[in-house]
Amino acid sequence: MVRRPSVPVVLFVVATTLLAAGGLAWLLDADTAARWTWLAGTALGLVSALATTLEAVRDRRPTVDVIAVLALAGAIWVDEPFAGAMITVMLATGRLLEAKADARARRELSLLVARAPRTAHRRTVDASTDTVVDVPVAEVVVGDHLLVRTGEVVPIDGRLLDDAVLDEAALTGESRPVELEAGQDVRSGVVNAGGPVELTATTTAEHSTYAGIVRLVEQAQATSAPFVRTADRVAVLFVPLTLVVAAVAWAVAGEPVRAVAVLVVATPCPLLLAAPIAIMSGLSRAAGMGVVIKGGSALERLATGTVLLSDKTGTLTQGRPEVTDVLAPEGVDPDEALRLAASLDQVSAHVLAGSVVHAARHRGLVLDMPSEVAEVHGYGIEGIVSGRRVRVGKAAWIVGEEVPRWIRQARRRADLDGSLTVFVGVDGGPACALLLSDPIRPDAPRTVRALREAGIEHIVLVTGDRSDIAEMVGRVVGVDAVVAEVDPEGKLATLARESARGPTIMVGDGINDAPALAAAGVGVALASRGATASSEAADVVLTVDRIEALADAILVARRSRRIAMRAVVVGMGLSLVAMVVAAAGHLPPAAGAALQEGIDLLAIAIALQAVLPARGRRPMPAGDISDARRLRIEHDAVLPLVERIRAVADGLTTDEPRLGAVVELREALQAELLPHERHDEAVLVPIVARALGGTDATVGLSRTHAEIEHQVGRLSRLVDGVEDEVSPEDVVELRRVLYGLYAVLRLHNAQEEELAFSLVPGAAPHRGPDSMTPPAQT
């Protein structure tokens, strides 16, 4: 079907054609033909301006098109057809540019709506059949087994049953495919860029990520920004000013042509077009970065915010508990117990199931599909795995009345660390306890620094979690104040107190954050893992799982507002000067029309700068990204060795000192750990220096590389120097060296997560015990 040209396009083409035809006739000395051609153009503009003016009067909406009506009518009255034709082209150009800018600004958002998935492939397996049936996405329920074929959009949020390669460009703007492992969560709206994959639905269509994004799109750009509304009001006030200046010029000179000249140059296009174009362009830039801003008003308030309050869980931390340890009694293989639990959790939609599955796969364990699976509400899940009956859930359901000593120790350790515990039972007896914690986001400290550079003056962590945990997170990420153990009402009270410092921005991702998000000057919700009540209440929604995007969005908002102001000051300043010159008789209507066209185009061109990317850090070269991802794989491969250091130290006792495990550990450190750290120093450190624009940020990494080498050397010398009869003093010294090495490596791994791997697209943070892991509280 052939698309019909829009009204602004038709008006512009006809107006410019009439102006050019009249000019050609004038050059050929056909003055009469030129005059009538220009008069036709003037009449076209008069009809168009009159129509918009009458429409505004009907809607009881103020308009400045009355100036255009008077200018065009005046041009006909004083016989200035060329000036009238120029005014028509000026009006047509402004409307065409406005339509084009508006369409471009909305493009990123509207594409999301067009891609909304409509159907899902539901797989049904029973004793006799294995079928795949296409059903509307609205009929999918939690726990359904879905198939997503190559090139299809994932219709529902779910948990992967297979490894997958996904294209998340529509949601995040990231052009490179993302690789996810079985057991990880996947969002609706992303495209399957690999082979067919299967997943377990963890939500319904109504509450899925993509449905939430579509709702956000419908809300976005629904309101005018305060700056734009102010521009409208100033433009309306401009009408009586113009009429007064035109009347005075006519009265003083006694020539109506002067009044017409004033009307010709008195267009407030820099206010009416330039300001909205800059604001809309800012919305477009933010949307392309994965930040949906719900209208120009929210963008302007985001630009003026100076006080930021942030929730902890899911905002400064990952928000997804991760298995940090597997505690099992003597005689039970922890890896086998974890494998059985993960095999059963593959088919569970519980929020912790994905963490258990991912931990098992990360250790290289091979999972089996369970049978006879049953969810026991309030307790857990049970089923048959590899011929053994497995339960995963609460201790009371698995342990029974008599609690073994190792379980009491596991509970005590979890209480001290603030960790979550999940218990695993095999064949009627307890097999292991899984400890889960919520690690700090690797990019959180850098995000806090970026927020300060973007203009945020005061940052507060406000959370319902325990104060000791919140204080630790606050110290790591670098906030100014911490308010802990508060409920939603307490968050509102904190928000009210902090608002005295300046305009507020509240960041959160949970239902309990919704009241504070709605009450803040600007509410910012993280919706990368699903649409929640917080997304509905917020003014700004991050669809990317990268909180640093908020700092980028603030910079975009401030830049857009600054560009809008610049366009208005330049355009209106030149228009006012032109009005004075025209009133003094030094600017005839024809020349004034040409001049005003240039002023309008200049103001709009300034406003369109907001569409262009600002100067910033250059993208990381493809070679550096490839090298960093390869180093990431090496980094993950040595993590079990790091945890082995603590285990060996824990096993050293003065009663029966045995050095066999220590000797084996030393050999592994020299063969595996030290080559990796040297490779990091030679390759990763220069990559980070190039990405951050200098070596200052890499000094800490190099220093810990040297310290690791030093500590391994000390351990080696200590082992070589120990005699056959190991003394208690030797054991104490060995444990001291091992624990010291373990602490340095944990800190070093956290440094690499923050300074290096969080910079690399696609190098997702490791989900395991190397991360700094403050606990998740529920």
Query: In the prediction, which pLDDT does 687 show?
Result: 87
pLDDT at 309: 93
Query: Given the structure tokens 């444990």, which residue do they identify?
Result: 735
**Highest averaged pLDDT of the listed ranges 116-120, 329-333, 743-747:** 743-747
- Which position has the higher pLDDT, 62 or 762? 62
Q: What percent of the chain has pLDDT over 70?
A: 85
The total number of residues written for the chain in this structure: 778
pLDDT for 226 equals 55
Structure confidence at residue 216 (pLDDT)? 58
- What is the per-residue pLDDT across 584-626, written as a single tens digit (0 to 9) for each? 888 888 888 888 878 888 888 888 888 777 665 566 787 888 8
pLDDT at 518: 78
- Which pairs from 712-720 meet CB under 8 Å and 24+ separation? 712/666, 712/669, 712/670, 712/673, 712/674, 712/741, 715/662, 715/666, 715/669, 715/741, 716/666, 716/670, 719/659, 719/662, 719/663, 719/666
- Rounded CA gap, 340 and 355, in Å? 14
Least confident of 297-306, 431-440, 462-471, 649-658: 649-658
Average confidence score pLDDT of the chain: 81
Sheet holding 291-293, edge to edge: 291-293, 540-542, 522-526, 504-508, 307-310, 458-462, 481-483
> What value does the mean pLDDT take over residues 24-53?
88
pLDDT tens by residue, 130-180: 788 888 888 898 888 899 988 888 888 888 888 888 877 656 555 556 778
Mark 512-521 as b/e (b = at least 16 C-beta within 10 Å): bbbbbbbbbb
Tell me if 398 sits within 8 A of 379, measured CB to CB: no
639-679 pLDDT tens trace? 878 878 887 887 777 776 677 888 888 999 999 999 999 98
What strands, in cross-sheet order, belong to the sheet with 178-180?
A: 178-180, 164-167, 191-192
Whole-number pLDDT of residue 223: 46
Nearest to 632 by CA among 741, 499, 770: 770
Q: What is the pLDDT of residue 268?
A: 66
Give the tokens for residue 111.
């594409």
Q: Would you call 489 exposed, middle or buried from its count of C-beta atoms within 10 A (0-12, 13-18, 19+)?
A: exposed
At residue 383, the pLDDT reads 93
pTM of the model: 0.67
- pLDDT tens-digit profile of 483-536? 988 877 888 889 889 999 999 999 887 656 777 887 888 888 887 655 455 666
Coil, strand or helix: which one is 136? strand
Q: Which residue has the higher pLDDT, 367 or 527?
A: 367
pLDDT (average), residues 76-101: 77
Per-residue pLDDT reduced to its tens digit, 244-281: 888 898 888 888 888 888 888 886 666 667 777 888 88
| Contacts for 112-117: CB closer than 8 Å, 24+ residues apart | 112/170, 112/171, 112/189, 112/210, 112/213, 112/214, 112/217, 113/214, 113/217, 113/218, 115/153, 115/170, 115/189, 116/189, 116/210, 116/211, 116/214, 117/152, 117/153, 117/154, 117/155, 117/188, 117/189, 117/210
Residue 208 has pLDDT above 70, yes or no: yes
pLDDT of residue 308: 94
Name the 3-class secondary structure at 437: strand
Q: What amino acid positions are annotated as catalytic residues?
A: 311
Q: In the predicted model, is pLDDT for residue 578 greater than 60?
A: yes
Weakest-pLDDT range from 66-80, 444-458, 566-580, 756-770: 756-770
pLDDT score, position 777: 33
pLDDT band at 774 (very low <50, low <70, confident <90, very high): very low
d(CA 595, CA 592): 5
pLDDT at 331 over 60: yes
The CA distance from 437 to 773, in Å, is 6
**In the prediction, which pLDDT does 776 show?**
34
User: Looking at 409-418, 423-432, 738-747, which range is the least confident one?
Assistant: 409-418
Q: Are 752 and 701 in contact (CB under 8 A)?
A: yes
Whether 1 shows a pLDDT value over 80: the answer reads: no
Sign of CA dihedral 236, 240, 242, 243: positive
Q: What is the pLDDT of residue 773?
A: 37
